[in-house]
Structure formats: C-alpha cells, structure tokens
Structure 1
Amino acid sequence: MNQADVLFVFDVGGVLIELDPAARDAALVAGRKADAGHPDFTALPRGLMRDFRLGLVDEPAYLAALSAHFDVSTDTILAAEDAYIAGINADMVGFVRILKQRYRVVCLSNTQAIHWRRVSQSLLGPDLFHADYLSHVLHQEKPDPAIYRTLVAAEAAQDRRIIFIDDTGENIDAARDLGWTDTLLHVSPGDTIAAVADLLGLPDETAPEDEPATGTRH
C-alpha cells in the first residue's frame, strides 16, 4: 500500500503519556492547611473539568474555581495538574518517531490547556505529530462522532486507511462505528507495536526508512 494512503491517529494520555491520579490527589492534600482535613474527591466539579477540557472555560476561571473547591492556592492546583502527568512512555514515543518517517501521524486527544502545555513543551515536544487534534481547541471530544469527523475532514482522509490507537474502549467503539476498521485498543507498548506491524504486513516495525512523511503540519 502507498504510504500516503495510511494515516495514523494516536491518543496521547495513557498511550504516550503516563498518568498518575494518585499523585495529583496527594498534591492537593499536601497543599491544604494542617487543620483543613482531607478533601472530598467524590464531589469533584466534573462539569467544570469537562468544560475546561472542551475549552469552554478559560484557565484563570478554572484555577479559581478549583482553588475555591479544594480550599487551596492556585499554585497548588497547578502543582496537582503537573503531578498528574507522570512522564512519557519512551517505547511508544520512539515508535511514533519511527512511524512519522514513513507515514502521516497525528494525535486525537481529550486534554486541557494546562496538561497539553506541559506535554507538548516539556515531554513530547511541539513537533512529535504532523498535526494535533485536541478537545480544548476543537470544543469536541471523544467518543462524540463529531471530533472524528472533524479529523477526517481536516486530513482529507475520507478514502485513506486510518489506523487508530487509543486506550479507552468507548473511543475505539465510536471510531469503529464510523468505519475506522483498523482500530487498536492499547494495553501495552509491545502488544500495540506488534499489532501495528501485523496490520501493515511487516515482520518488524522498528527500522525507519529515509522517506519523508506526506502532508504538512496544521
């Protein structure tokens, strides 16, 4: 198959980036006054968090609301958000770099501005993907079919083979419902890399070729 006919779409959190909810919660506890007690994590303002993830609430308003909810400083909220991003999965990031030499590779991520700033600036770098499709920029998120359609239209991928990797089953199911038949539920780097090699009919997907990927970064 012509390499220009293949589009790779990667989720980020849980696939390329390791997440640590326990570290985030510990940072929030540590930032409270000694006599404040333990915060009630069952009463998280999930609507606010969703709206920030969709880019419907700006960062100062988000920080102020969470600061009031947990009775901590905005610096503590930022520290907690930072602690949630535990680091990169080096095997998967290296795999993306190899694929990018041969194929068009983009990301499709449910994320928010604070997390993405750290991920793109400090961990993955701004140019790991040919294009980034982000919930807080598009005001759409997986598994809503609209965000998949937005990506297909932007990439002119109606007739291309899309290989989609995500660690959440409902996101995979939504893609399949739209006809993305080459979808892989990410469980481990080894399994995902082997599955991609199998889809491409390759014995080993680890030796890059000196051939530029098609397309340009949006």
Structure 2
Amino acid sequence: MRNPEVLLFDVGGVLVDWDGTRGLVTLTEGRLDHEQARRFWMEFEPLKPFEKGHADGREFAQAAVSELGLDMTPGAFLDAFNDWMRGPFSGALELVERIRPEYRRAVLSNSNLVHWRRLIEDYGLARPFETLFVSHEIGQRKPEPSAYRVVFEGMGLPAETFVFFDDNPECVEAAQELGMQAMQVRGLTQLNAILEELGVLMPEDGDDGVRGHGTSLI
C-alpha cells in the first residue's frame, strides 16, 4: 500500500452533531428503532435527489411524512430536519487543524443546500479543509462508487492514497471495495483517538510531542 496522502472525512456523525437518527426515533414515537432510523437516512429514495441537488426539500419532506405516517405537515417536518443539524462538535475544527501539514485534508459528505449553507456560513466548516466534495454539489451520493471516483479525479490521486472516516458502515465498505483505507468512526472522541493512534496529529500546546507518533498509517 502506498503512503496515504489524503485524510478524507465524512461530516455528520464524525465532525458534526447530526441528531437525525435519534430525532427520527422520537418523531415516530419509537416505531423506528435506532438502526431502522439510520437506514432510513441511507436508503429512503426521495431523499436521494434532494441530497444530489436535483430536488428541493419540499418533495422530500412530503414523501417522508407520508412514508413514516407522521401527523405533521411537510413544513413542520422540514423544520425538525433542519434543527437536527446542530453544528460541529466542540473542538472538531481545531482537531482537523492539528493534522500534520504533510497530509491533505478533504471532505466527502452527503448533505443538502440548507444544511450545508449553515455549516459553511454559520460554523466555518470549510476552514481547515483543502477541498470539499458534497453530494448536492457533485451530484453523487455515498455509498455509490461514483461519489468516491469524483474525489479521486478531483484530487488527482488513486484510491490507495486516501484514508476515509465515516460513521455509516455501508460507506466504509464501499470505500474499501474501491481500494481506500476506510474506518468507521462515530463522534469526535473516537476520531481523536484514531488520529492519535495513526500518528497524524501535531502535538497540542504543552504536549511532549511523543504521544501517538509511533504508529504508522501503513
């Protein structure tokens, strides 16, 4: 395996507090359990064109309310959907900024215009990254192989030069099948521990510079 050159991050559930899974369990009054709610966001067909930039949120919300049997308007569902995007975990952007400069930093995320605008304009999510590949802008969505290929082409590098972090197993498996090193990560605490173990972080102020530098990425 070649030395990795790019650390590629999913956003929701890895760097950003996305409460849509738990929120959907609550909204359906437990008719969906946690895993069913997670799979809803991965598999619900009317969500896909919204996240690929081919449809607006109203169509998705109307379909979701009908599919889930919710006693609420599509507008109220969209309000809840937007509220579930809570912004970056505390310290998330600072953690990414501690990655050693020899590694390129990029994002590959399934998102939509409403959530993404908030993340960029209100929270400055783009700050520590070289490149952002977002489903509604590239017209492709994980775990479709075409989404990953957009990244390879956009950064001019083959799959084996990437390390990818995502909270959904389907997306991790798809990345691995294409030749990427990929890891399932849920939340900032786990991400921090993995980055430390991989030895890709610069020491924090006051750190002795030893911790985490003994493990190779390959």
**Structure 1 length-normalised TM:** 0.70
Q: Which residue of 2 aligns with 1:58?
A: 56
Letter of the 1:138 partner, please give it.
Answer: I
Q: Deviations over 1:75-125 (max 9, x none)?
A: x34421221112321233221122275532110001111111222221244
Q: Which residue of 2 aligns with 1:212?
A: none
Letter of the 1:198 partner, please give it.
Answer: E
1:193 counterpart = 2:195: no
Alignment partners' CA distance in 2, 1:124 and 1:149 = 26
Q: Which residue of 2 aligns with 1:115?
A: 115
Identity score, percent: 23
Aligned ranges 1:130-149 → 2 under 5 Å:
130-149=130-149
Q: Which residue of 2 aligns with 1:214?
A: none
Q: Do 1:66 and 1:77's aligned partners in 2 also have CA atoms closer than 8 Å? A: no
Q: Which residue of 1 aligns with 2:18?
A: 19
Residue 61 (structure 1) shift:
4.7
Distance change >3 Å, CA 67–CA 177, structure 1 → 2: closer
> Structure 1: which 5+ residue stretches go unaligned?
30-37, 209-218
Alignment partners' CA distance in 2, 1:107 and 1:100 = 16
Q: Deviations over 1:163-186 (max 9, x none)?
A: 2111111211111111113x2211
Q: Deviations over 1:196-217 (max 9, x none)?
A: 23334x6x64349xxxxxxxxx
Distance change >3 Å, CA 198–CA 134, structure 1 → 2: same
Q: Which residue of 1 aligns with 2:203?
A: 206
Q: Which residue of 1 aligns with 2:73?
A: 72
Alignment partners' CA distance in 2, 1:157 and 1:123 = 29
Q: Deviations over 1:59-85 (max 9, x none)?
A: 45556x3698565263x3442122111
Distance change >3 Å, CA 193–CA 139, structure 1 → 2: same
Q: Do 1:184 and 1:192's aligned partners in 2 also have CA atoms closer than 8 Å? A: no
Residue 52 (structure 1) shift:
0.6
Distance change >3 Å, CA 24–CA 113, structure 1 → 2: farther
Alignment partners' CA distance in 2, 1:141 and 1:159 = 17
Alignment partners' CA distance in 1, 2:83 and 2:106 = 25
Aligned ranges 1:32-181 → 2 under 5 Å:
46-59=44-57, 61-62=59-60, 65=62, 69=66, 71-72=72-73, 74=75, 76-99=76-99, 101-158=101-158, 161-181=161-181
Deviates most, 45-54 or 149-158: 45-54
Q: Do 1:108 and 1:133's aligned partners in 2 also have CA atoms closer than 8 Å? A: yes
SS in structure 2 of the partner of residue 90 of structure 1 = coil
Q: Do 2:23 and 2:84's aligned partners in 1 also have CA atoms closer than 8 Å? A: yes
**Structure 2 length-normalised TM:** 0.70
Q: Which residue of 2 aligns with 1:216?
A: none
Distance change >3 Å, CA 57–CA 18, structure 1 → 2: same
Aligned length: 189
Deviates most, 99-108 or 149-158: 99-108
Letter of the 2:203 partner, please give it.
Answer: T
Residue 13 (structure 1) shift:
0.3
